[in-house]
């Protein structure tokens, strides 16, 4: 573990120095597949530098601040608030109806699929997830649109679920897919972060419809758009793949949104 960590740091330092050289007009060809995105576009080079810089400087398991109950504030439900609504933003003709059916039955038949670069692909009911050791955290949500709000979230660490399915040694990214046409990816550092949870509870209740029922991600180290609501499927991958094209939300958003 220590060796690997040292290796990674060396690779990162080399990467950072390489980024400086790239600014001087050297080839970027080396970082297309396994690195977070520049989208082959020099103008997106900042994404990559930010990623490298943060990954180098931030201690791996540094926790974001948690708040007291008294600091909980009202939080808007924004973006897609109902995947079943055909007129809502990011409506998915593929999954919107399925969501409506699952909701009719209080999500009793809902399952979270976890697959990809894992040893034991699995699906989890809400009861399965609720039976696992839970974590409750009061955190500040920061939206790219310029507002923030504090809420309490309860759920199971994504790490627990990933350990259950057994990630392959080469796994590096985790892609989160929703019942609307929204999907986002995070890297393994954020995926295994102790405060990255799959939340079914909010402020002591089951997560309300607008905030992502029955299950949403809370990725506290990233801007709000990485905290995918209405989760449907999680795919572990070895290679970086931008979901920009697929996601109604992602188009034009920086892949790395660390805060």
Ligand X SMILES: Nc1nc2c(c(=O)[nH]1)N[C@H]1C(S)=C(S)[C@@H](COP(=O)(O)O)O[C@H]1N2
User: Residue 110 to residues 45, 123, 155, 242: CA-CA distances in angstroms?
Assistant: 40, 10, 16, 26
Residue nearest to ligand X (CB): 79
Determine phi and psi for 217, rounding to 5 degrees: -85, 145
Question: Closest CB to Mo ion among 37 and 79?
Answer: 79
Smallest gap from residue 223 Cβ to ligand X (A) = 8
Peptide bond into 214 cis (omega under 30): yes
Q: Is 75 near ligand X (CB under 6 A)?
A: yes
Q: Is 129 near ligand X (CB under 6 A)?
A: no
Smallest gap from residue 141 Cβ to Mo ion (A) = 8
Residues 88, 84: Cα–Cα separation, whole Å? 8
- Reading phi first (left if > 0) and then psi (alpha if -120 to 50, else beta), residue 148 is in beta
Q: Is 233 near ligand X (CB under 6 A)?
A: no
User: What are 123's strand-pairing partners?
Assistant: 113
Helix axes 2-23, 45-57, angle to 10 degrees: 150
Question: Closest CB to ligand X among 166 and 248?
Answer: 248
- List 98, 113, 122, 143, residue binding Mo ion (CB under 5 A): 143
Q: Which stretch binds ligand X (CB under 6 A): 16-24, 41-49, 63-71, 226-234?
A: 226-234
Q: Is 211 near ligand X (CB under 6 A)?
A: yes
Q: Is 227 near ligand X (CB under 6 A)?
A: yes
Q: Is 45 near Mo ion (CB under 5 A)?
A: no
Smallest gap from residue 247 Cβ to ligand X (A) = 9
Which ranges in 144-224 belong to alpha helices (H)? Answer: 158-165, 188-191
Determine phi and psi for 135, rounding to 5 degrees: -130, 135
Interacting residues toward ligand X by CB under 6 A: 75-80, 90, 143, 178, 180, 182, 210-212, 224-225, 227-230, 249
Give contact residues for Mo ion (rule: CB under 5 A).
143-144, 224-225
């Amino acid at each position: 573990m220590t060796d690997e960590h040292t290796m990674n740091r060396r690779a990162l330092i080399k990467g950072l120095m390489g980024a400086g050289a790239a600014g001087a007009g050297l080839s970027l060809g080396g970082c297309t597949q396994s690195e977070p995105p520049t989208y082959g576009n020099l103008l997106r080079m900042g994404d990559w530098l930010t990623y490298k810089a943060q990954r180098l400087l931030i201690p791996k398991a540094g926790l974001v601040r948690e708040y007291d109950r008294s600091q909980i504030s009202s939080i808007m439900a924004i973006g897609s608030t109902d995947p079943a609504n055909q007129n809502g933003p990011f409506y998915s003709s593929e999954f919107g109806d399925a969501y409506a059916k699952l909701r009719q039955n209080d999500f009793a038949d809902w399952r979270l699929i976890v697959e990809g670069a894992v040893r034991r692909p699995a699906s989890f009911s809400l009861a399965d997830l609720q039976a696992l050791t839970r974590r409750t955290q009061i955190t500040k949500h920061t939206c790219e649109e310029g507002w923030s709000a504090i809420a309490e979230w309860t759920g199971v660490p994504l790490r627990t679920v990933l350990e259950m399915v057994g990630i392959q040694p080469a796994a590096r990214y985790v892609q989160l897919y929703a019942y609307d046409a929204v999907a986002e990816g995070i890297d393994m550092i954020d995926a295994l972060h102790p405060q990255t949870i799959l939340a079914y509870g909010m402020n002591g209740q089951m997560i309300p419809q607008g905030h992502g029922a029955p299950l949403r991600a809370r990725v506290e180290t990233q801007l709000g758009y990485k905290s995918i609501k209405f989760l449907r499927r999680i795919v572990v991958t070895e290679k970086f793949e931008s979901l920009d094209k697929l996601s109604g939300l992602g188009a034009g958003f920086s892949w790395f949104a660390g805060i």
